[in-house]
Amino acid sequence: MFEDNWHFPNCLGSVDGKHIEIVPPPESRSFYYNYKGFHSIDLMAIANANYELLYAHFGTNERISDGGVIEYTGFHNLLTNNLLHLPGINPTNGLPYVFVSDEAFALGENFLKPYSVKMLDHDKIVFNYRLSRARRVVENVFGILVARIGVLQKKINLSPGNIDIVVMTCCVLHNFLRRHATSTYTPQSQLILKMKTLMKFDMAIGLKEKMLPASQWDTQEIQLRQQSLSETSSKPFSILLKAECYGRKITCKSSEVEKRMLE
């Protein structure tokens, strides 16, 4: 899917974190105060190419960077100990399967981030460009969550234990709506409009690198996105959302949530 949609082969998921703004508990002082100047708790997530969440971790205070937050997750523990049972080398291109992230995360065998701006040449610029296209999928998921679920649009004034329940419920609800109410939850016209906006940046880089003439971008890219969105909307929904909130492990199969919501 990532190769078809975003021209980045062997990608298993896009990884990033988001500040969830909160009203800090009494006497918490600066414990939840982040470098952006407000109180928050971190939502660390992995998204697939269809804007669905594969994994979510919530509960780390935002004094720690995204690269530090991921080290507190079960995902990181499994990844570093080779317990995720990832696919082997892709026989088509001879490369391993990877997760993609931004420069805040540590580079690993199955974890890629952009090259530093201090060591860029033509090939590395192209790589950073392609990785950025795949990585920003999770940022788009965060944007959809905030735009469509009102509780995330303002400070959450609950106890930390209840905030994690609210946020993780939003993540499960997002996956459910992406599968069962795609046309109303994320209208294709809005996604295409967003793609056009992102493509303005893509076109500038594409022209610089002579990868695709400007006259071909609008037609070819939008047709590709429309085709991929129509294909994925009919696929079975079998996302397993695993949340780890304040030391408690919560595993919830989306099918169980769907059953309860439909009853």
What local confidence, expressed as pLDDT, does residue 139 receive? 93
Q: What is the pLDDT of residues 3-31, one digit of tens each?
A: 888 889 999 999 999 999 999 999 888 88
Mean pLDDT, all residues of the chain: 76
What is the DSSP code string of the chain?
Answer: -HHHHHS-TTEEEEEEEEEEEBPPPTT-TTTTB-TTSSBEEEEEEEE-TTS-EEEEEEEEETTS-HHHHGGGSHHHHHHHTT-S-----BTTTTB--EEE--TTSPPBTTEE-PPPGGG--HHHHHHHHHHHHHHHHHHHHHHHHHHH-GGGGS-B-S-HHHHHHHHHHHHHHHHHHHHHSHHHHS-HHHHHHHHHHHHHHHHHHHHHHTSS-HHHHHHHHHHHHHHHHHHHTTS----EEEEEETTEEEEEEHHHHHHHHH-
Determine contact, residues 49/2, Cβ cutoff 8 Å: yes
At residue 222 the predicted structure's pLDDT band, cuts being 50, 70 and 90, is: very low
pLDDT in tens, 108-153: 889 999 998 888 888 899 899 889 989 999 999 999 999 999 999 9
249: pLDDT strictly greater than 60: no
Instruction: Say if CB 241 and CB 175 are below 8 A apart.
Output: yes
Q: Is the pLDDT of residue 240 over 50?
A: no
- Tell me which of 67-71, 117-121, 126-130, 209-213 is least confident: 209-213
Query: Residue 109: phi, psi to the nearest 5?
Result: -60, -35
Element (H, E) at 112: strand 111-112
Q: pLDDT grade, residue 59 (50/70/90)?
A: confident
Indicate left, alpha or beta for 19 from its phi (over 0: left) and psi (-120 to 50: alpha).
beta
Amino acid 49: pLDDT: 92
pLDDT at 259: 41
pLDDT, residue 60, reads 77
Give, in order, the Cα–Cα distances in Å from 44 to each of 15, 54, 94, 164, 204: 8, 11, 30, 12, 31
Q: Would you put residue 154 in left (φ > 0), alpha (ψ -120 to 50) or beta?
A: beta
Which of 27-36, 60-69, 136-145, 202-211 is predicted with the least confidence, judged by mean pLDDT?
202-211
CB distance 113 to 105 below 8 Å: yes
219 vs 153 pLDDT, higher one: 153
Cα–Cα dist 66/168, whole Å: 18
